[in-house]
Amino acid sequence: MKRILVILLAIVLFASCSRVSGTYVNESGGLYEQIEFVGNNSCNITTLGMKFPATYRIDNGYVYVHTHDGADMLFKIQDSNTLVGDSFFNESTYKKINSPSSTK
């Protein structure tokens, strides 16, 4: 029984680290200001004050973001509230911000 509980806990922890949702803001205010996940594979990237649509996929603890102009980005999922840019142009830490509905 104990073994089953350990396995179930591991599955729950793995599943929670493999999802992203909401808006993550660049703590250092770099080129990519924020990323907002709006669906199962859709997101918006804000850069220079402008939002651009993109798609994403999650694989092996990383979020791969693909934009229409080929400016692909890679984020390591550190935990459910933190993404770390993992590419030459984006090594910033992104923190999840609370949505207005979660503060009610």
**Complete domains list, the chain, with CATH:** 2-97 (2.40.128.280)
Q: What is the pLDDT of residue 103?
A: 40
Contacts of 17 (CB under 8 A, 6+ apart): 61, 77, 79, 80
Q: What is the pLDDT of residue 2?
A: 65
d(CA 90, CA 65): 12
| Angle at 20 (CA atoms; ends 15, 25), nearest 5 degrees | 145
Phi, psi of 10 (to 5 degrees): -65, -40
Contact 34, 43 (CB under 8 A): no
pTM assigned to the model: 0.74
pLDDT in tens, 80-93: 999 999 887 788 99
DSSP state, residue 39 = S
DSSP state, residue 100 = G
Mean pLDDT for 43-61 is 94
Mean pLDDT for 29-51 is 91
Q: What does each C-alpha distance from 58 to 10, 18, 37, 48, 65 come to in angstroms?
A: 18, 7, 12, 25, 9
Mean pLDDT over all residues of the chain? Answer: 82
The residue among 71 and 7 whose pLDDT is bigger is 71
d(CA 92, CA 74): 11
Q: What is the pLDDT of residue 30?
A: 80
